[in-house]
Amino acid sequence: MNALPDAAAPTPVRAAGTSQFVGFRLANQNYVFRIERIREIVIPTGIASLPEVPACIDGVSNLRGTIIPIV
């Protein structure tokens, strides 16, 4: 049986006037952002806890050499 040649993935088409969103739930609140406003979504590894920070902060993580808060 012959393998099919690689084909380019079809480009998604959106109807005019529509938008795409990314949503998530944090601390019993729902949040939604336009997908154009999202730079990246990262699953942190190695979260370090900090003393005396607000309860909404789980800790900090190193993202490519930059320390970022984890909520």
With 90 as the cut, is the pLDDT of residue 71 above it?
no
The tokens for 32 are 């939604």
Strand 66-70 to 59-63 pairing: antiparallel
Residue 6 identity? D
The reported pLDDT for the residue numbered 3 is 57
DSSP state of 48: B
With 90 as the cut, is the pLDDT of residue 48 above it?
yes
Separation CA 24–CA 29 (nearest Å): 8
Please write the tens of the pLDDT for every residue from 13-39.
777 888 899 999 988 999 999 999 998
pLDDT bucket at 11, cuts 50 / 70 / 90: confident
Task: Indicate the pTM of the whole model.
Answer: 0.51
